[in-house]
Amino acid sequence: MTVRTRLTAAERGEQLIAAAVTAFASGGYGGTTTDQIARLAGVTQPYVIRLFGSKQRLFIAVMDHVCDRIEATFRQAAAHGTGIAAHENTTLLGEPATHGTIAAHATTAAQAEPAPHRTSATRANTAPHGKPGARETSAAHGAIAAHGKSAVGETNAAAGGADTPARRADTATLGGAYIELLAERDLLAVLLHGFSASADPEIGDAVRAGFGRIYDTVRELTGGSAEDLHAFMAKGMLCTVLSAMQLAGPGAVPAPPWAAELMAGFRPQ
C-alpha cells in the first residue's frame, strides 16, 4: 500500500512557483492562466488563488524567485570561483578587473545600500486580514522568500559575509556563471516577460527592485566602476535576448553572420 505524504502549504508554494516558471515562460503574464499553472502543479485552480491571492501576486513571487536565483548564482561564483570564466581566459561578459579598479571602488561598493526588495512574504503580510487563506498564503510566501534568502545567505557566508568586501570577483567570473544559466531557458524567459509586464504598477515595482538588486550585487561583488557595470549589464541583457532567440545556450540554432559577430565577445580570445 502506497502512503502519500501530505505536502505543507510552503512545499505546495514552492511546487507552484516551479510550475508557474514553466507556464509563464511559455505564455507570458497575459497569456497564462492560473488554471494552466494549477494543472502543471497537480492542484486545483482555487488552491492557487487560496495560496497566492491572484495571478498578479503569483507572477510577482515568480519574479522574486528568478532574481534571487540570479543573485545566488553570482554570489556562488564570487565565493568559489565557479563558472566558465573561472577556468578559461575569456571575455564572456566582462574583462577581469585590475587591482587598481578594485581598490578605487571598494569603498563605494561596500557603502552602497541594496535596492529595496519587497518580498512575497511582505506583500502577503500587508494584505487585509480576514481574507480566505491569508495565513496560509503568508506561510507559503514566507517559506519561498526564506528559501531564496537561504541560498543567497549561504553564498554570503562562504564569501565572508555580504558586507565584507575583502574578496572580490571580476566581471568575467560572474559572466561565466551567467552564461551557465542559459541552460535554464525558462528562468531567463520569465525575466524577459517580467520586463514586458512592467506597465502593471505592482509588477513594475517588483521587477525594477529585483533588477536593481542584481545590479547592486554585481557592484558589491566586483567593486567595478560605473562603466564596468554598464558594460556587464548590457552584455548580460544581449546574452539573454540571444538565448531567447535560440542563438545561444543549449540546443542553439546555427548563428547567422550578424549573430556570430555579436557573440564573438562572449568567446575565448
Is residue 145's pLDDT more than 80? no
pLDDT at position 144:
53
Q: What is the per-residue pLDDT for 11?
A: 82
Q: Span 69-90, mean pLDDT? A: 74
In a domain, residue 1? The reply is no
Q: Are the C-beta atoms of 149 and 57 separated by less than 8 Å?
A: no
Residue 221, C-alpha cell as written in the block: 561583488
**Is residue 269 pLDDT above 80, yes or no?**
no
| Mean pLDDT, residues 43-68 taken together | 96
- What value does the mean pLDDT of the chain take? 76
% of the chain with per-residue pLDDT over 70: 64
Question: What is the pLDDT, as a whole number, of residue 221?
Answer: 96
pLDDT grade for 196, boundaries at 50, 70 and 90:
very high
- When pLDDT is averaged across residues 80-103 and rounded to a whole number, the result is 43
What CATH code is carried by the domain that includes residue 145?
A: 1.10.357
Q: Between these two residues, 87 and 74, which has the higher pLDDT value? A: 74
Q: Please check the confidence at residue 249 and state whether its pLDDT lies above 80.
A: yes
Instruction: Determine the Cα–Cα distance for residues 228 and 209; give it in Å rounded to an integer.
Output: 21
User: What is the DSSP-derived secondary structure letter of residue 97?
Assistant: P
Q: Is residue 4 part of a domain?
A: no
- Considering the domain boundaries, does residue 205 fall inside one? yes
Grade residue 184 by pLDDT with cuts at 50, 70 and 90. Answer: very high
Q: Rounded CA gap, 213 and 136, in Å?
A: 28
Is the pLDDT at 59 greater than 60? The verdict is yes
Nearest to residue 62, comparing CAs of 102, 29, 21? 21
262 pLDDT band, cuts 50/70/90, is confident
CA nearest neighbour of 123 among 108, 140, 141, 111:
141
Is residue 89, in this structure, part of any structural domain at all? yes
Task: Provide DSSP, 131-183.
Answer: STTHHHHHHHHHHHHHHHHHHHHHHHHHHT-TT-TTS---HHHHHHHHHHHTT
Q: What is the pLDDT of residue 69?
A: 96
Identify whether 73 is part of a domain: yes
Whether 220 shows a pLDDT value over 90: the answer reads yes
Site of grid cell 516558471: 21
Instruction: Quote the number of domains for the chain.
Output: 1
Q: Does position 264 have pLDDT exceeding 60, yes or no?
A: yes
In a domain, 97, yes or no: yes
Q: Which three cell numbers stand for residue 125?
A: 503580510
- Per-residue confidence (pLDDT) for residue 9, from 0 to 100: 72
The grid cell for 61 is 513571487
pLDDT of residue 80: 84
Which DSSP symbol is given to 184? Answer: -
| Residues 106-126: tens digit of each pLDDT | 223 333 333 333 444 344 433
Instruction: List helix spans (H) across the chain.
Output: 9-27, 34-41, 45-52, 55-80, 99-111, 120-125, 134-159, 171-181, 185-196, 201-222, 226-244, 257-263
Q: What pTM value is reported for the model?
A: 0.71
pLDDT band at 3, cuts 50/70/90? low
Query: What is the pLDDT confidence band of residue 81, given thresholds at 50, 70 and 90?
Result: confident
Q: What is the span of the domain harbouring residue 106?
A: 9-266
Instruction: Find the mean pLDDT for residues 131-152.
Output: 49
Residue 3 lies in a domain: no
Spatial CA neighbour of 183 closest among 40, 69, 91: 69
